[in-house]
Amino acid sequence: MRTQVVIIGGGPSGLLLARLLHTKGIDTVVLERRTEAHVLARIRAGVLERGLVDLMAQAGLDTRLRAEGIPHDGTLISYDDTLFRIDFKAQTGTSVMVYGQTELTRDLYAARAACGGGIVFEAEAVQIHEADGHAPYVTYHVDGQQRRIDCDFIAGCDGFHGVSRRSIPDGVRRDYEKVYPFGWLGVLSETPPVADELIYANSSRGFALCSMRNPQLSRYYIQCSMADSPDDWSDAAFWAELRRRIPTAQADALVTGPSIEKSIAPLRSFVTEPMRWGRLFLCGDAAHIVPPTGAKGLNTAASDVQYLFHALVRHYDDKDDSGLDGYSEKALARVWKAERFSWWFSSLMHRYPDQSEFDLRIQRAELEFLRSNDAAQKAFAENYVGLPY
Ligand code: FAD
Ligand code: DHB
């Protein structure tokens, strides 16, 4: 079997790339290790930058997103009982869209099925061959059979634990990593959100985030120990702890209910360089991870996809490889800025085990500066709504 681009990974990066390439008549096969139901059961990001919304429009897939997504013109930040707002719209002229990654992925799967595009689910033992030569191919097992696809290019969209990044030889690849000494315990509940906008809360007991998916579905997170398991946290214990970490007025207004999902995510900053090796191009979590504070993970994956999409179109339409040759450098320039923002916002909002009294005073001073300084709010807003592609 032969195709133009083999896409490894059927998460949001792989599916969006496949869809955009389809709009230009470029053939792809998507190889996904899991089932569709498994991918759609993963609760992850919830805030889309304007750039990702525009890409979904370009893909012809923004109808449900515009009908059901909730535009947010600002966000709330608290420390102890102080609450302030950063106005994205006033600072940057743009807003962000609250729309779950699950819904976005559902829209992408539906579009792929409607156009008859190939997705191989439960593809096992995926291996990349000859990526640094002229005739790359990918092998995998499905239903106990070994298969092979020859192609022009391979897009590695298979997330942090995928095979693509590890196929780049150690001598070529350099990894940069920071692991944080805590996790996020997340709860999804069918309750109205505590506020109309998100609340990022710094408290002496640790970070908390009040987010949402729609007017009847809330998503909350609290900083927790990585030694914890979700089973250690009853719903009652979770709600009590969340209440202690947000300002009194919001704690009093919080509507609680049974959790319908509860999970713990580790926090990590990670970048691999380069993002291209021969005919293999990495996109999204396969190449970089951010701590979730600031919702940059999915959005940074989307900017990679946009760059690679344009580079591939230029290759096929104009026989111009400058986009492919410049892909890694261009993507990494934006990735590192998202890494910086996510690292900085995480440092501002969390309690660290080794924080001294001095560190805490500095954190407080920085929060007060952000609350009262227009230039600081503008810089925050520009990063939050997304730097230009
Ligand atoms: P993924 O979504 O990881 O998709 C990769 C796909 O590749 C998966 O479907 C996987 O099954 C498949 N795959 C893996 N290995 C193979 C293989 N060998 N062969 C074939 N297929 C393979 N971001 C935010 O902005 N806000 C959040 O709140 C947030 N929460 C998160 C919580 C968790 C637990 C995690 C892990 C991530 C979270 N993120 C969040 C990050 C965000 O979800 C990711 O940045 C986004 O999913 C990246 O999309 P992707 O398609 O690049 O990778
Ligand atoms: C969500 C997650 C984030 O990390 C964030 O910064 C904002 C929202 C969410 O899951 O809703």
Residue 135 and residue 33 in one domain: yes
Residues of the chain above pLDDT 70, percent? 100
Here the CATH number for the domain that contains residue 309 is 3.50.50.60
pLDDT of the residue at 72: 98
Residue 49 resides in a domain: yes
Asked if residue 81 is part of any domain, the answer here is no
Domain assignment of residue 92, yes or no: no
Residue 82 within any structural domain of the chain: no
Q: Atom 1, ligand 2: which residue's CA is nearest?
A: 46
Confidence of residue 322 (pLDDT cuts 50, 70, 90): very high
pLDDT of residue 78: 98
Domain interval for residue 273:
5-72+97-177+268-347
Q: Read off φ and ψ for residue 151, nearest 5 degrees.
A: -160, 175
Q: Please report the DSSP string for 45-66 in residue order.
A: --EE-HHHHHHHHHTT--HHHH
pLDDT score recorded for residue 116: 85
* Mean pLDDT along residues 205-234: 97
If asked whether residues 216 and 365 sit together in one domain, one would say yes
Q: What is the pLDDT of residues 193-202, one digit of tens each?
A: 999 999 999 9
Q: What is each CA distance from 48 to 34, 44, 215, 217, 291, in whole angstroms?
A: 24, 12, 17, 17, 16
Q: What is the CATH number of the domain that holds 224?
A: 3.30.9.10
For ligand 1, the distance from its centroid to the CA atom of residue 288, given in whole angstroms, is 11
pLDDT in tens, 80-94: 999 999 999 999 999
Same domain, 192 and 328: no
**How far, in Å, CA of 341 to CA of 348, rounded?**
10
- In terms of domains, do 368 and 223 share one? yes
Report the pLDDT value the prediction gives residue 25, as an integer from 0 to 100: 96
Same domain, 117 and 235: no
pLDDT at 198: 98
172 within domain boundaries: yes
Mean residue pLDDT across the chain = 97
24-79 pLDDT tens trace: 999 999 999 999 999 999 888 999 999 999 999 999 999 999 999 999 999 999 99
Residues 272 and 262 in one domain: no
Number of domains in the chain: 2
297 CB under 6 A from ligand 1?
Answer: yes
Q: What is the pLDDT of residue 258?
A: 98
Domain shared by 109 and 225, yes or no: no
My answer on whether 289 and 363 are in the same domain is no
How many other β-carbons are positioned within 10 Å of the β-carbon of residue 121? 16
Residues 6+ apart with CB under 8 A from 52: 298, 299, 302, 386
**Alpha carbon nearest to ligand 2 atom 11, residue:** 46
Residues 321 and 380 in one domain: no
| Predicted confidence (pLDDT) per residue in 230-274, tens digit | 999 999 999 999 999 999 999 999 999 999 999 999 999 999 999
| 326-336: average pLDDT | 98
Shortest CA distance to 320 belongs to which of 329, 332, 312, 331?
312
Q: Is residue 325 part of a domain?
A: yes
Alpha carbon of 285 to ligand 1 centroid (Å): 6
Residue 134, pLDDT above cutoff 90? yes
Name the residues annotated as catalytic: 72, 200, 292, 296, 384
pLDDT at 117 over 90: no
Q: Give Cα 251 distance to the centre of its chain.
A: 28
> If 0-12 CB within 10 Å is exposed, 13-18 middle and 19+ buried, where does residue 107 land?
buried
**Reported ipTM exceeds the 0.90 cut:** yes
- Are 292 and 367 in the same domain? no
- Asked if the structure places residue 224 within a domain, the reply is yes
Please tell me whether residues 67 and 15 are part of one structural domain.
yes
Tell me, what's the pLDDT at 275? Answer: 98
What pLDDT is stored for residue 118 in this prediction?
83
CB-based burial of residue 116 (10 Å sphere; 0-12 exposed, 13-18 middle, 19+ buried)?
exposed
Which pLDDT score, from 0 to 100, does residue 43 have? Answer: 87
Mutate to test the pocket of ligand 2, among 70, 180, 221, 300 (most ligand atoms within 8 A of CB): 221
CA of 292 to the centre of ligand 2 (A): 7
Interval between CA 48 and ligand 2 midpoint (Å): 10
Report how far residue 297's alpha carbon sits from residue 287's, in angstroms, rounded to the nearest whole number: 11
Task: Answer whether residue 119 is part of any domain.
Answer: yes
The answer to whether residues 153 and 281 touch, using CB atoms and an 8 Å cutoff, is: yes
Instruction: Answer yes or no: do 23 and 56 share one domain.
Output: yes
CB count in 10 Å sphere of residue 376: 14
